[in-house]
Amino acid sequence: MTTPVATQEFKPSPIAEAPFSAASAAPLVRHLRQILLWPLRLIADPKNADAALRPWQMLHDLPDSPWSEVHDEFSADGAKFEERHYNEFVTFLPYVQRFLYGEGRDTQAASPDALGSPMRVFRRHDVAQFRVQARPGDPVVLLNVQHIDLYFFFAVDLVFLNVEVSANDLTLPHAQELMYRLGRGYPAGWDAKGSPLHCLHSVELLDKNGLVLASSDAHDRKAFMQHVSQHRTPRITSHWAYLLKPLVSDHSVEAGPLRFRQIEYYRMPMMAYLGLDDPRALTRSDFIRLGLVTGANPEDRSNDSALPYSEDHLADFERRFCYDRFWTRGGSAPNTRYLCSGHSLIVVGATDSTFYSCSERGVLAHFRHQHFLLFLIAHFQKAALLMYSDRLVEALKQLSIGDANSVRAFKRAIRASFESFLGFTHRYWFHEVAEQAQARALFHMCANHLGLDPLYAEVKARMADMNTYLDTDSIRRQANTVVRLTVVTIFGLIGTVTTGFLGMNLLAEADAPWPQRLAIFATVFGLTTLLTVYTMVKSRRLSDFLDNLSDDKLSAWQKTKSFFAVWGKERGD
């Protein structure tokens, strides 16, 4: 499922005098694109069986919803299909193409849903700009909204909030602070003056007319602390809560048909595109702060040794986090550098390169489409694995061994998780997304930094352990049933052979009146039933007696004691 994006440029954002030292010497970021991805776990309504599989249908059917579904450009007439869509499509391997775009229109399928992509996208158009201030005293910046989307995935209880914003002519410290602070779901704390830590000092969502739709309440320390105290879960900042509506937090007092829970760190995965006049003017410290998204350097930029962390810790930074295939003075997009830490994917290049700034065929187009999708796939896989791990923990928390209903619910939950994980593995889990060198390398960098393979192996092992436990428990129960039936059969065999010997009848009542024969039948039936039930009750002890009886190493007295132990005091296993 591809998503249409606007390609127009916006006027420069207003910038006030920078409070950073040596700000006049700081390079200008001529164009900044920032993309946020926030994975959230959907909490299904147990009364609605289809909610877990088709939450997008519920969103589509809600009245007055600000979200509308985005249909792909792969239409039959090809009127909306552009070259950038083709370039995006051919980047990926066939099985990834089927995941992203679905099957062809002429494919024979059992249902229309089988043709479409298992990924559904919804978009809202009411928010036009973010008006933000990074820190007290910093300039107020207008970020133009490119799009705000929700990504749903078939048969996986996840939703991704995707926000893309842009700005022009920012100083590098301002751009670094925005990259560092914008994607925070709630404040990490507050300083002595009551200002929220690590997140934006102020955020306002504006419509096309400049009217404020929502603003951040990160300064309301008491509200956030009370929420954690009462619900043991963080409170989402008001402007993010507004963007997600009608989705509401599972611990919110608000009513909502679609509810979510946080599944990862409160700092949203982020992508950024920076166009500068001369990327070579950036220092090693600048690249480290950009690649690790640590915020601006508060010290003098002329001091290249002012690193955010120790030199030993950053000794292998270029090898681990930099993709420098295009970090050269030649080529179509000279001086282009990719920085990937898993949590972030940053590209830095020169705006005077036509190919770097091209939104149809160049680096900007690749960043917004191919690279965004591979970044989305990596984080979707991680979020899904974390979700399955959470579901196992929740199932165990609800288990009470002594409660038969709890045991049955636990088994159903584990079986459902195992089936869903099996579907995830065959539909969404793959190690390679593309054969193109750049896309392949960037995906591997994301996957390695996110630790996808070890995480998958861990969750798979946990799933296998749970499933093995259920299988073992079923086999144990079946074995116990077989033992009980065997004991009943053995002891019932005595009476059967005795009464059936030579077909004799102890009571010759064949010619007796019907009432008398029915009374005898009912009496014998009742006694036989009681004897069978009693034998079942004592079946475990009787089984032990039969085992001892067949043991040649035991004496006759020990076997006799074993027989009387059938009616002895119950001993713990």
- CA-based torsion, 103, 107, 112, 114: positive or negative: negative
From residue 402, alpha-carbon distances to 336, 406, 484, 572 in Å are 63, 8, 21, 16
Among all chains, which residue has been given the structure tokens 């116990």? 480
Yes or no: say if 414 and 467 are a contact pair by the CB < 8 Å rule: yes
Alpha helices (H) along 168-207:
172-181
3-state class (DSSP) for residue 305: coil
Give strand pairing partners of 85: none
Exposed/middle/buried for residue 243 (C-beta within 10 Å: 0-12, 13-18, 19+) = buried
| Reported pTM | 0.81
Res 297: pLDDT:
76
Res 406: pLDDT: 80
Residue 255 — left, alpha, or beta (φ > 0 → left; ψ -120 to 50 → alpha)? Answer: beta
Q: Which of 267, 261, 269 is nearest to 387 (CA)?
A: 261
Spans in the chain with pLDDT lower than 70:
1-24, 45-53, 72-80, 104-116, 298-305, 477, 480-481, 483-485, 487-488, 491, 494-495, 497-510, 539-540, 542, 544-551, 569-573
Please give the C-alpha separations between residue 365 and each of 70, 279, 309, 460, in angstroms, as whole numbers.
19, 19, 33, 36
Q: Is 433 helix (H, G, I), strand (E, B) or coil?
A: coil
Q: What is the DSSP letter of 190?
A: B
- What values do phi and psi take at 138, rounded to 5? -75, 160
Cα angle value 289/290/296 (rounded, 5°) = 55
User: In this structure, is the dihedral angle defined by the CA atoms of residues 326, 324, 28 and 304, taken in order, positive or negative?
Assistant: negative
Q: What is the pLDDT, as a whole number, of residue 5?
A: 41
What HEC string does 442-485 produce? HHHHHHHHHCHHHHHHHHHHHHHHHHHHHHHHHHHHHHHHHHHH
Tokens of 374: 């591979």
Residues 6+ apart with CB under 8 A from 549: 559, 562, 563
Give me 392's structure tokens.
């196992």
Q: Which residues partner with 147 through β-bridges?
A: 164
Instruction: Tell me which DSSP letter residue 298 carries.
Output: -
Pairwise CA distance, residues 350 & 160, whole Å: 31
Residue in this structure with the two tokens 């979707």, named with its chain if needed = 380
Burial 500-514 (b: 16+ CB within 10 A, else e): eeeeeeeeeeeeeee
Q: Is 231 helix (H, G, I), strand (E, B) or coil?
A: helix
| Chain-centroid distance, C-alpha 123 | 20
Instruction: Tell me if residue 168 falls in helix, strand or coil.
Output: strand
Which helix (H) or strand (E) is 557 found in, with range?
helix 556-564
Quick one: CA dihedral 132, 138, 141, 145, positive or negative?
negative
Closest CA to 143 of 153, 129, 155, 157: 129
Q: Residue 328: helix, strand or coil by DSSP? A: coil
- Residue 483 CB neighbour total at 10 angstroms: 15
Supply the pLDDT for residue 504: 62
**Token pair belonging to 113:** 């849903």
